[in-house]
Structure 1
């Protein structure tokens, strides 16, 4: 049994966490002096994180209010929403893309900005989750997720990781950008796991369905074997439920009928594999379709466009580039 097989045989919620692999896109060490402000434009499909290592600031996310950020705190803006960071209310906040950056490699930059008074530093980043299970999970997160290292069950690991990031950010030693980006990735995944464990909102919907012993098992079977010719009856039999009881409970816990979930899951896998360079013809059989036409119809029904239009992913305009 491979390591992946071992994980996939674990409980369904553990599987979802296993697939929280980030595609690091852009990381920034911001050296700021008051008064300062920046706007991060909307970047669909991206999660932004902000870590204060010195000073403090205000994070404004449309629809989620204003959050004060201090050293030892971490904020996630999960859904690619545009947002603003300022030293105090009302300070001008130019588009961060239009400000000059000093690049260290393709994905790491230092931003120096502000009015010249009291200094502060932030470590920020925009990241993606490519696996469909990870995207499903991230879609459930609130508009703004804030963690305080001084309280809660996550205090110890959060404080330790933030101290390491702050130490590296103070003086960029050789390899410092690599250390900061790796630690930031860990913080993001840990923050999501903490939310799952502590927020009542994570006990319902898709995450709640994963926790259900029988519905979670059915979802796990779909994830592990998407090409099998699943039917309502065959899935119900696998989890030892009657067809009617299984259908009703799946819809109630997961929020959609099981066969709709199966199709959507297959098409999310298809989109990712198309972005990775797979041909439309090979995907039809790989995902349980007997013809390219049937596969293409299902893909268009879920994504709104035919699979032939999918292209290799390119970075949105909101991500600075050297």
Structure 2
């Protein structure tokens, strides 16, 4: 049998960012005329983004956050929170899912809406990140993330990407929906990277643990080889720390004991693979468990339900219905 390479990557945080691959995505080119307003209802674990390419609007997120958006500005609304977009305060905000859309395919549509006044355009989308590392990262984002292309360290890349999006949204040439969706994917990932680099909140907790030279290596080893028979002693040895010092430091930085993190990580992987149709029996062995009973107990402890309940969810629709 070929030996497993347990050497950790040089950049554990970079490895986590590698898992920011979008799935379950829906994009909408929105042409509006004042006065206008829409409500985006709460939708599970979707992250919504809104790019204003012309005109202005107010973004109001459930929980009290309000942000004015103008050309060259981007907002992310993570965690599936409901929110409203409108041209000015007090304008009616009908449910966007009830408005007529022109569909190009099952992932891209055009919405035309408003009262016939001054025009504006937006590119909007709902995206999901299925990999557990990506979900862990997105869970740390604030209720509303706002980026302005005219200021900050992210100005150059944001301006360039938004200019391309604006050009495509303005003309809608053949194949434009493909270009818009891929540019939007890049924009969302870039925005999350910019937040990690700039926000003090991203320097602590799980992200802070990834940045730690020792703890980050241990987390990367768990991510890369979840089925390996890890113990507290073996992980400590891999990062050249004593068992007691490693255990204390991991808990202090990551916020939970290392073996609890290992179990939780395995169970997050199990959930995603169950939703993809994997059998419980094969997952138990694939994730380092010697019996289905032990695997099922760990799964229920983490997710609050047996693996069979997750299996029943497999095959259900994964995209927002607009």
Any idea what the Cα deviations from partners look like across 1:274-302, whole Å, max 9, x if unmatched?
11111110000110101001001111111
Post-superposition offset of 1:24: 4.4
Residue pairs, 1:308-319, within 5 angstroms: 308-310=308-310, 311-312=313-314, 314-315=316-317, 319=320
The answer to whether the 8 Å contact 2:196/2:202 transfers is: yes
Q: Tell me what 2:68 maps to.
A: 68
Q: Tell me what 2:23 maps to.
A: 23
Mapped to 2, the partners of 1:281 and 1:11 lie a distance apart of: 34
The answer to whether the 8 Å contact 2:37/2:91 transfers is: yes
Mapped to 1, the partners of 2:146 and 2:61 lie a distance apart of: 12
Task: Name the CA shift for 1:64/1:230 in 2 (closer, same or farther; >3 Å).
Answer: farther
Q: Tell me what 1:163 maps to.
A: 163
The more displaced of 60-69 and 33-42 is 60-69
Unaligned 5+ runs, structure 1:
none
Mapped to 2, the partners of 1:282 and 1:159 lie a distance apart of: 47
Q: Tell me what 2:296 maps to.
A: 296
The answer to whether the 8 Å contact 1:19/1:133 transfers is: yes
Q: Tell me what 1:320 maps to.
A: 321
Q: Tell me what 2:35 maps to.
A: 35
Task: Name the CA shift for 1:216/1:8 in 2 (closer, same or farther; >3 Å).
Answer: closer
Post-superposition offset of 1:84: 0.4
Mapped to 2, the partners of 1:139 and 1:87 lie a distance apart of: 29
User: What's the TM-score, normalizing by structure 2?
Assistant: 0.95
Q: Secondary structure at the match of 1:301?
A: helix
Q: Tell me what 2:220 maps to.
A: 220
Post-superposition offset of 1:234: 1.2
Any idea what the Cα deviations from partners look like across 1:11-50, whole Å, max 9, x if unmatched?
1100001000001421001110111010000011110000
Q: Tell me what 1:265 maps to.
A: 265
Any idea what the Cα deviations from partners look like across 1:231-258, whole Å, max 9, x if unmatched?
1111111111111111111011001111
Asked if residue 92 in structure 1 is aligned to residue 92 in structure 2, the reply is yes
Mapped to 1, the partners of 2:52 and 2:203 lie a distance apart of: 30
Task: Name the CA shift for 1:31/1:182 in 2 (closer, same or farther; >3 Å).
Answer: same
Mapped to 2, the partners of 1:313 and 1:124 lie a distance apart of: 26
Post-superposition offset of 1:209: 0.2
The answer to whether the 8 Å contact 2:9/2:217 transfers is: no
Q: Secondary structure at the match of 2:29?
A: strand
Post-superposition offset of 1:153: 1.2
Post-superposition offset of 1:305: 1.1
Mapped to 1, the partners of 2:294 and 2:41 lie a distance apart of: 38
Residue pairs, 1:185-196, within 5 angstroms: 185-196=185-196
Task: Name the CA shift for 1:304/1:313 in 2 (closer, same or farther; >3 Å).
Answer: farther
Mapped to 2, the partners of 1:64 and 1:241 lie a distance apart of: 45
Any idea what the Cα deviations from partners look like across 1:104-132, whole Å, max 9, x if unmatched?
01110011111110111110000000111
Residue pairs, 1:138-177, within 5 angstroms: 138-177=138-177
Task: Name the CA shift for 1:61/1:260 in 2 (closer, same or farther; >3 Å).
Answer: same
Q: Tell me what 1:201 maps to.
A: 201
Residue pairs, 1:227-246, within 5 angstroms: 227-246=227-246
The answer to whether the 8 Å contact 2:8/2:221 transfers is: no
The answer to whether the 8 Å contact 1:34/1:87 transfers is: yes
The answer to whether the 8 Å contact 2:35/2:88 transfers is: yes
Post-superposition offset of 1:195: 0.5
Post-superposition offset of 1:313: 5.0
Q: Secondary structure at the match of 1:156?
A: helix
The answer to whether the 8 Å contact 1:8/1:15 transfers is: no
Give the count of matched residue pairs. Answer: 315
